[in-house]
Amino acid sequence: MSNTSAIDKLTITNGLFLEASAGTGKTYTVAALVTRELAMDDTLRIGDFLISTFTRNASAELKDRVRRRIIEMAEIVSIGTAVPDDDLSQYLCSQNESKREQIVVNLRRAAVEFDMATIGTIHSVCSRILTLAGLPSGNGNEAASTKMLIQQKVNDYVATQAIQMASDPAASSGVLRPWDPALLAKVVEEKVSAPDAELWVDPSHTNAAQLQQLVRDIHAMVASIHEQTQANPTFDDLLRRAAAVMSDPQYAVAVSAIRQKYRMAFVDEAQDTDPMQWSIFRGIIETISKDSFLVVVGDPKQSIYRFRGADVNAYLEERDVKNLISLDTNFRSDGDMITALNALMDGQSFGNHIDYVHVNSAPKNAGSQLSRFQPVEIVNLGEKPKANVPQKVAALRVAELLKHAQINGKEIELSDVCVLVRANEIGISLERELRSMKIPAVSGGTASVIQSEAAQSLQQLLQALDRPSDMGLVRTAVSSMFFGRSLLDPAVMAHGVVSTNTGDGGDDSAAESMAGIDVEHDFIRALSRIIRKDGIAAVEAQILSNPLCLNSMLRSERAERRLTDLRHLVELIHQETEGQGIEASTALQTIADLESLDATAELVSRRIESDVDAVKILTVHAAKGLEFPIVVVADLWKDKTLGDTKEKTADERSTKKPPVFLSPRANAAGKKFRCIDVAWVEAGIPTPLARLASEAEALDETKRQFYVAVTRAKHHLSILLPSDQEGCVAYSCINTDAIGQEDSLIPVVPIPAKVSPTIPTRVVPVSTRPFDGSTTQTYRRTSFSGISELAAGRAQSVLHAAPGSGLDEQPDFFGGHVHSAAADVAVGATMPLARVPKGTYIGTVIHEIFEHFDTAAPSIVNEMTRLVDKHASSPSLLSSRTDLIDGLVLAAQTPLGPLMGGASLATIPSRDRLPELSFEMGLAHLSKDVRVKKIGDVLLEMLPSNDPLFHYAQLLSSEQFNIPLAGLINGSIDAVLRVKNADGVEKLFITDYKSNRLDEEDDERLIDAYHPTRLVHAMEHHHYPLQAILYGVAVHRFLRWKAPAVSSDDAIGGVAYFFLRGMVNDLAFVDDQGCPYGVFQWTAPTGLWSRLSNVLAGVGHA
């Protein structure tokens, strides 16, 4: 074991453990190490990294930090001037000139390829594993959706047992017994959520035989539940299935592919993992590997998620103390505070083999920025304080700090102070206490958003949207926060009654209140249509743009709280329903499914409504990973055993859940494992051994919660503690001789007297703020059709161009209207599609047909007939049904020329056809000044003058295409085909089906319009080469992401556009090169796709 925080001294080895005490820059270190390895190793790509962390919020932050660090270091090294106090920049800038140039290349390449990185939660990693193994994965969901299924299985089981006992009492005696379904369901829930835990029965238990039979029955129920959740897995299901894949020989090929994909894996927040997750990580990066590296980052002192299944013992058993580096510099807190905390917790333990680690303060944080208070102070709550004392004293302490404390000589602000609590009810009570003292306060993580006023109001509104004709539900919705009417209002109860009081001197407001609720009812009916069509987010948008609703919601002092909770709820429903139009009942069911989640669960834990001009109140769990200038820790830190009343002995006390505890003995592999106390099902009372083990683990976790709480502060920490140590867990992890002594660093202070701090108030006039600035759009979503509109002058600027939607077929914007040949002009070939009606509808039909075309069907004629009858149902095509079927058969049977090895659409099996490949492709920031014409510049540079697209490249590089590209571009490729070329080598071809009618009024034969030479002009006329080039770059990036070892130059054989009307399956209509009429083909020069990808990303030059 060694201690360091210097990035240049951290040597990565396989199985390295980085232990990061609070404030030592864990996320900073991970981002720096990833950046350093990418910079220094020319063979390492960002796609070689797997970075996993605990929560979605943490993974989003880590992903952002890594990306920004890569970009930042690329710019710093390119300039050559290191940043003071930045070890990484100093290390990279110290390299020789040649190496620095290569570092810049490596980092800029990583920035361009950043979408190849795997940075996410362990559950997203599991989804990737299952996908590679060809198994259904899904995105995972909270276990709440499984609870109903568990209850059904348990009820069925209990009913079956009762029937057996009643029908044959003698046979079932001593074997079966009537189990309590509520208790049994909780045992099954624990097993489903902890698949690796063992169902444990104390061998000495008097009913051991019955309990062992129950264990077998629980296993059967769990297996049945797993089978039924196959299509909609929970997060626990994802872990279980991925772990099974990694250990199953039949998936050896998939496991090998996973191992080859990742050369370096970082496991962040590793203290909150479990044995099953470790089996996955060890499966990806084998312990014996010399070419790949697993880096484990965590801090066992901060393992506080036991209630979510985190098993700190799993981390401790995997930890290799010989390959461990402890980060030893705290960059968060003032030096004097670090000195005080080191003294407070010196030599203390927070669980077996989890000791306090001394840290140093950063040189820039020497001393203290705080005045009038000591960095750490203990507030004495007196002996045996009542349960409501902490919140009352915390409020007084906050007031005292606001009145007297200073940071760097300035009075502290409200938002500098955070109060940490462990219990939701304390946080809620404290918020009320502060508000009663006229101190603004906001809370987060102290309760579930499902229990909020916004949730109740949203449920009332959704019930009315589900049945808008039910006036009882409508009245209830009108009384919610969205409308603010009272059910006692006669106008609400007498819907539709209009006041007749029009006399002089009448009360206008009374008359208005009697106008009924017609306006609200009309709005509810409108919302009922909107939610079905556009989803819950559209409903929220309508509510927040409705003056009536805004007035009702915002006139309360809790307006920000209401808005925050509403946005949170809508986000949850929007994610669960994938942003689709839904029935209101579906949204109600989603809320119901979330009700059973613990208030501390990430999904439902309430968010802070505002961090401006208010004291923050957070639970310890919500505050983990955060820092605040001043922290007040408000809790009694009681030693909570698992009992329910003081009148019972320890062995008689019931618990809310069956104990899950660490086995007292190791298994055959020498490791301890989690156990679930099955005997708890008898009366909700734990087995003595299970109770003692579980209580000991809970006590250790309480100590770790204390450590997390007291390490959040930057300048000052106030800890509220009772004077008597009995029953207070905090005293078991601090040095009492470090507090309250004359020579100690930490004074003990009395409960503050009530003071009234000066709270600055801002009077904001209620008016519409005028906008007198200018705007510059630097980011947008576009598509080929959006670019086409701009180039054609259909939009005045980027601001007016329609954003892309994934469907990028566009009308004929260029060159004016082209008249087709007259009706009496000869066709010139068997060409059934020649005069089938044209337009966007026929184009959509043909795309649908070829997307679902089954080339393995016994009869191509029957297959096309089936598809035409299914998709071409419009009356406008009924008269063309036979021509449509015959023409599509001929088009499908037409050989596609030597470039595609003579294959036809009918001979390419479905496994070699990827239809409707939709994409969203990242572009550069507007500041990079990337323009469409740069694509033309690159083509002119790389294409020979005789290339069929050279003339178009000249047009593309003109001022007509001086159009900025920034943000995202999307589209949908009709099909990527995998076929063997003339040399027998499998290649990918980017293809598009075109239904355009190309013949013109001067043509003597319709078929001549589809000659390959004429198709070049047709492509140019519709600007399809630009579309094809954008598609090619998208496929290049897709390959780079999915198969980074494959060169797109080798993989992509070319582009093929199929003008189906001219594909007649007749050898008489083939050009000199063997290319059939109706088929445009083109091969890109070597290096074009990667060059254009860099240009679109703002990297390199055009």
Instruction: Please determine, for residue 488, whether its predicted confidence score (pLDDT) is greater than 80.
Output: no
- Residues shown for the chain: 1102
In CATH, which of 1.10.10.10, 3.40.50.300, 3.30.1490.20, 3.40.50.720 is domain 2-138+238-327? 3.40.50.300
- Categorise residue 948: left if φ over 0, alpha if ψ from -120 to 50, beta otherwise: alpha
The pLDDT, as a whole number, for residue 96 is 95
Helix 584-594 and helix 144-167, axial crossing angle in degrees, nearest 10: 80
- Per-residue pLDDT band at 504 (split at 50, 70, 90): very low
Q: What pLDDT, on a 0 to 100 scale, did the predictor assign at position 769?
A: 65
Residue 998's nearest CA partner among 1057, 949, 1068 is 1057
Residue 707 near residue 359 (C-beta atoms within 8 A): no
- Give every CB contact of residue 410 below 8 A, 6+ residues apart in sequence: none
- In this prediction, residue 74 carries a pLDDT of 95
**Where does residue 747 fall: left (phi above 0), alpha (psi -120 to 50 degrees), or beta otherwise?**
beta
Give the strand order in the sheet containing 417-421: 441-444, 615-619, 417-421, 628-633, 713-721, 376-380, 748-749
pLDDT in tens, 792-849: 775 544 444 444 433 344 443 333 344 455 667 899 999 999 988 888 888 889 999 9
List residues bridging with 638 in a β-sheet.
728
pLDDT (average), residues 705-731: 96
Q: What is the pLDDT of residue 339?
A: 97
CA 398 to chain centre: 36
Q: Which amino acid is at 296?
A: V
C-alpha 822/C-alpha 498 separation (Å) is 67
Pairing type for strands 324-327 and 293-298 reads: unpaired
Q: Which helix (H) or strand (E) holds 591?
A: helix 584-594
Return the sign of the alpha-carbon dihedral for residues 425, 428, 434, 435.
negative
How much of the chain is in helix, strand and coil states, percent to nearest 5? 45, 15, 40
Burial call 679-712: b when 16+ CB within 10 Å, e when fewer = bbbbebbbbebbbbbbbebbebbbbbbbbbbbbb
CB count within 10 Å of CB 934 equals 20
Does the CA dihedral 1052-1055-1061-1062 come out positive or negative?
A: negative
pTM: predicted TM-score of the whole model, two decimal places: 0.73
pLDDT digits (tens, 9 = 90+) for 978-1029: 999 888 899 999 999 999 999 888 889 999 999 999 999 999 999 999 999 9
Distance CA 240, CA 236 (A): 6
pLDDT tens sequence across 273-313: 999 999 999 999 998 888 999 999 999 999 999 988 889 99
Q: Are 1021 and 814 in contact (CB under 8 A)?
A: yes
**77 vs 39, 73, 113, CA distance in Å?**
10, 6, 19
The reported pLDDT for the residue numbered 161 is: 86
Asked if 449-594 and 781-829+913-1096 have one fold, the answer is no
Q: CB–CB of 320/162 below 8 Å?
A: no
C-alpha to C-alpha distance for 138 and 913, rounded to whole angstroms: 23
At 783, which amino acid appears? S
DSSP secondary structure code for residue 388 in this structure: T
Lowest mean pLDDT among 30-44, 140-154, 637-651: 637-651
Fold (topology level) of 335-447+604-642+714-758: Rossmann fold (3.40.50)
Does residue 234 contact residue 142 with C-beta atoms inside 8 Å?
A: yes
Cα distances (Å, whole numbers) of residue 1026 to 159, 423, 659, 680, 1022: 67, 60, 64, 68, 9
Say if CB 910 and CB 963 are below 8 A apart.
no
Question: What pLDDT sits at residue 232?
Answer: 78
Q: Give the span between the Cα atoms of 533 and 527, in whole angstroms.
A: 10
Of 1091, 1085, 1099, 1046, residue with least CA distance to 116: 1046
Strands (E), 257-375: 264-267, 293-298, 324-327, 329-330, 360-361, 370-371
Q: Per-residue confidence at 214, pLDDT binned at 50, 70, 90?
A: very high
Per-residue pLDDT tens over the stretch 852-892: 999 999 999 999 999 999 888 777 788 889 999 999 999 99
Quote the pLDDT of residue 1043: 80
pLDDT of residue 804: 40
8 A C-beta contact, residue 987 and residue 931: no
Measured distance between the N- and C-terminal CA atoms of the chain, rounded to whole angstroms: 51
pLDDT at residue 157 greater than cutoff 80: yes
Look at residue 646 in the predicted model and tell me its pLDDT: 55
**Residue 537 and residue 579 in contact, taking contact as beta carbons nearer than 8 Å:** yes
> Which residue reads 């009374």 in tokens?
510
Report which of residues 139 and 990 the model is more confident about: 990
418 DSSP β-pair partners: 616, 631
Nearest to 979 by CA among 1081, 1082, 907: 907
Residue 518 CA: distances (Å) to CA of 475, 495, 497, 525: 11, 7, 10, 10
Helix (H) or strand (E) holding 780: strand 780-783
* Residues pairing with 977 in the sheet: 913, 989
Burial bucket for residue 244 (CB in 10 Å: 0-12, 13-18, 19+): middle
φ and ψ of 617, to 5 deg: -125, 120
CA–CA dist 385, 269 (Å, integer)? 36
Where on the phi/psi map is residue 535: left (φ > 0), alpha (ψ -120 to 50), or beta? left
Alpha carbon 782 to its chain's center: 24
| Whether pLDDT at 509 is above 50 | no
Q: Which amino acid is located at 788 in the chain?
A: S
Q: Of 807 and 107, which is predicted with more confidence?
A: 107
Which has more pLDDT, 997 or 137? 997
Q: Is the pLDDT of residue 642 over 70?
A: no
| Beta carbons within 10 angstroms of residue 1092's beta carbon | 23
Which pLDDT band holds residue 757 (cuts at 50, 70, 90)? confident
CA distance 163 to 142: 34
Fold for domain 781-829+913-1096? Lambda Exonuclease; Chain A (3.90.320)
Sequence spans of domains, the chain: 2-138+238-327, 144-232, 335-447+604-642+714-758, 449-594, 781-829+913-1096
Burial (CB count <10 Å: 0-12, 13-18, 19+), residue 656 = exposed
The DSSP code for 349 is: B
CATH class in words for 449-594: mainly alpha
Question: Mapped to the 3 state alphabet, what secondary structure does 666-716 carry?
Answer: CCCCCCCCEEEEHHHHHCCCCCHHHHHHHHHHHHHHHHHHHHHHHCCEEEE
State the average pLDDT for the chain.
Answer: 87
pLDDT digits (tens, 9 = 90+) for 923-980: 888 878 899 999 999 999 999 999 999 999 999 999 999 998 888 898 999 999 999 9
Distance CA 172, CA 800 (A): 77
Contact 872, 1046 (CB under 8 A): no
Could you give the CA distance from residue 921 to residue 787 in angstroms, rounded to a whole number?
15
